[in-house]
Amino acid sequence: MNASLTRKLSLYLQLIRWNRPAGWLLLLWPTLSALWVASGGFPGWHLLAVFTLGTFLMRSAGCCINDVADRDFDRHVKRTVHRPVTSGALSVKEALAVGAVLALLAFGLALTTNAATIAWSFGALAITVLYPYAKRYVSMPQAVLGVAFSFGIPMAFAAVQSQVPLLAWVLLLGNLFWVIAYDTEYAMVDRDDDLKIGMKTSAITLGRFDVAAIMLCYAAFLAIWELALVGRLPSGVYLAAIGLALAQALWHGWLIRQRERDDCFKAFRLNHWLGLTVFAGIALAYALA
């Protein structure tokens, strides 16, 4: 492989945040949790592969769309100024082409499931495209991201049961609160830059109540998921997992209490472990039944 191709591949990997897996893991754990609940245990290797790979592909496609939409804003934010599209290393057409290929690959995976999952995949694509523009018009765009990052839940139920029951929407609501919590931590990192360029984020909207709101969102997430599932899971392991997740949430609250950029970013990056803890509790509960 010559130098120019190697450099291009490196830029594509930067574009999809290959070196930052926390983003797609935040999508993966609630999706797999829903898949296990919908199946009453291990869902089979086919669905596990479809939703794991599909989650990675759609998150990567979302990064391409987001970087194109935000390229003018990102030039004014310290953390994002060197992104490939923002810096001009990749063109808008290239980034959109990469995103389109990734989305098509994800759709190809959906085609191996059932009609209900295929239908819901169009909703997932729509919210993925719309989210980057919500930051211009919505005071709490993290709520829009919450829907986007929770859409794997109804799709998992659709893939297993060919329908989306009320339970799926309850879990989606709970997960939405978790997304608001960790993405507000993320927004706190860029708050000073976002204020200068007129970007709307929950960190700005909530003002001095940001830390309190984040902790309330963590509490809402864990309470909703516990109440929704505790009677359905055959083991106390799940309750222990919720307790461990709560301990992690309290640790995040301690980290962000002074609103320091590095600590807020650290709290954000640690959230995938919280999601893994909840998923592990669900998977172990079924395995030990």
Question: What is the end-to-end Cα distance of the chain in Å, rounded?
Answer: 51
Judge residue 4's burial from the number of C-beta atoms within 10 Å of its C-beta, 0-12 exposed, 13-18 middle, 19 or more buried. Answer: exposed
What are the distances in angstroms from CA 20 to CA 15, 270, 277, 287?
11, 12, 19, 30
What average pLDDT is seen over the chain? Answer: 91
How does pLDDT run across 223-274, given as a tens digit for each residue?
A: 999 999 988 887 789 999 999 999 999 999 999 999 999 999 999 999 999 9
Spatial CA neighbour of 270 closest among 159, 191, 181, 192: 181
Question: So what's the architecture of 3-287 in CATH?
Answer: Orthogonal Bundle (1.10)
Length of the chain: 289
Spatial CA neighbour of 244 closest among 288, 187, 282, 193: 282
- Token couple for 96: 């959109």
- Token couple for 226: 């516990």
Say if residues 217 and 174 touch (Cβ distance below 8 Å).
Answer: no
Q: CA-based angle 191:196:201, to the nearest 5?
A: 40
The single-letter code of the amino acid at 135 is: K
Q: Is the pLDDT of residue 1 over 60?
A: no
Query: Which residue's structure tokens are 């360029």?
Result: 197
Among 140-144, 172-176, 261-265, name the one with the lowest average pLDDT: 140-144
Please give the helix or strand (H or E) that residue 12 lies within, else none. Answer: helix 3-15
Average pLDDT of span 108-135: 91
Residue 160 makes CB contacts below 8 A (sequence gap 6+) with 35, 38, 39, 43, 47
Query: Which residue's structure tokens are 């893994």?
Result: 276
This prediction has a pTM of 0.93
Within 120-269, strands assigned E span: none
Query: Which residue's structure tokens are 């869902």?
Result: 43
Average pLDDT of span 74-96: 83
- Token couple for 49: 């592969």
**Ranges of each domain in the chain:** 3-287
Predicted confidence band of residue 132 (pLDDT cuts 50, 70, 90): confident
Q: Is the pLDDT of residue 146 over 70?
A: yes
